[in-house]
Amino acid sequence: MGPERHGGGRVPVLRDEWREPLRAQRDPLAEQPGRVRSNRDEHKRWRKQTWIGRFVSTYGWRAYALPFLVVLTVVVIYQTITGTSAPQALEEEGPVQGPPTIGVPSTSIIGAPPKGLTEFDANLPTGILPQGGPFTEAGARTWHIVPGALPQVGQGTTKVFTYTVEVEDGVDTTSFGGDEGFARMVGETLANPKSWTHNPQFAFTRVDAASGVEPDFRVSLTSPMTIRDGCGYDIQLEASCYNPAFDGQPRVFINEARWVRGAVPFQGDIGSYRQYVINHEVGHAIGYQRHEQCAENGALAPIMMQQTFSTNNNDAARFDPGTVTPDNLTCRFNPWPYPIA
């Protein structure tokens, strides 16, 4: 499959009580009123003082503050150059799991509910498919590539991923902008600065049949019945997933039923849900294999949390008991890896 991310020293406030007292222009205790008092004794003391003493006498409290300000300035410059200022907020850091396993061969389906989980209530309120528009229940189990290529987005210091956008034959896309409408949503989501390319490791290039390039993965809008074949259906909930070896091809399965109707945790925000499911499943394709759980009550959910089913850890632990701890924390839905980018 964001958000969202400082430092430096504080200049001390020079308080009023540190200010130098005013000096009288005339000596009120002079022996002879009207005559200016001789300063010869002061000249003698001045000659006897060291240069440090003369500096302090001349500049008062400023002589003590100046070295501190010099040191403070050096520290600020050092932090600016080296980037050792205060860390960014958690919501800006993106996925909390370790580095992605880029390029590691795998045949395991990622994102589907675990097999063999028999003690699960498929009527989980947040996991059911919401009411909404029509979708194609079963397609032809073959796909056509949507024409159109896009230039690279992102730096790609570690990997430039190539991908195609595909639609299963037999799926009717007219209600949401046609094949091109689906392809546009995929491309715009992956090009968004809050998506994966916020991390300079990643870049994406969309290719098509005319490009003659074998893609790293295929983002495929797919009917629910074919999804069951590609993702499994041990838990009777409509899901999407990443299958790295479906008929010998790495395929990001996007469930058309979810594309049309979204998910309960997204509270009817279909656009945000579509961005989420693209970012989440592509996240698996680029190497983020594990799911995350809600880390703080009321915070934005991590992009690798299975938000399609729930943003509450108690619910998530029921369909992913090996990963999620049931601690009753609930997050807010979030479609982006770097939501405050």
Enumerate the β-bridge partners of residue 144.
Answer: 167
Q: How far apart are CA 238 and CA 126, in angstroms?
A: 12
Query: How much is the pLDDT for 96?
Result: 63
The model's pLDDT over 304-324, given as tens digits with 9 standing for 90+, comes to 999 999 999 999 888 788 788
Query: How much is the pLDDT for 257?
Result: 97
Where is mean pLDDT largest: 24-38, 184-198, 284-298, 320-334? 184-198
Q: How far apart are CA 25 and CA 116, in angstroms?
A: 95
The model's pLDDT over 4-30, given as tens digits with 9 standing for 90+, comes to 334 444 433 433 433 333 333 333 334
Mean pLDDT taken over the chain: 78
The model's pLDDT over 155-172, given as tens digits with 9 standing for 90+, comes to 999 999 999 999 999 999
Enumerate the β-bridge partners of residue 159.
Answer: 202
Q: How far apart are CA 242 and CA 220, in angstroms?
A: 10
Query: How much is the pLDDT for 67?
Result: 58
Q: DSSP secondary structure string, 195-247?
A: SGGGSTTEEEEE--GGGT---SEEEEEE-HHHHHHHH--SS-S---EEEEEET
pLDDT (average), residues 34-47: 50
11: left (phi over 0), alpha (psi -120 to 50) or beta: beta
First CA to last CA distance, the chain: 16
User: Pick the residue with more confidence: 290 or 28?
Assistant: 290
The radius of gyration computed from the CA coordinates of the chain, to the nearest angstrom, equals: 33
pLDDT of 267 strictly over 80: yes
Query: How much is the pLDDT for 73?
Result: 54
- Which residues, in sequence order, are CB contacts of 229 under 8 Å at separation 6+? 141
pLDDT of 230 strictly over 50: yes
Under the banding of pLDDT at 50, 70 and 90, the label for residue 78 is very low
Q: Which two tokens stand for residue 115?
A: 């097999």
Range list of β-strands (E), the chain: 143-145, 150-153, 159-168, 202-206, 217-222, 241-246, 249-255
pLDDT (average), residues 178-205: 97
User: Pick the residue with more confidence: 329 or 120?
Assistant: 329
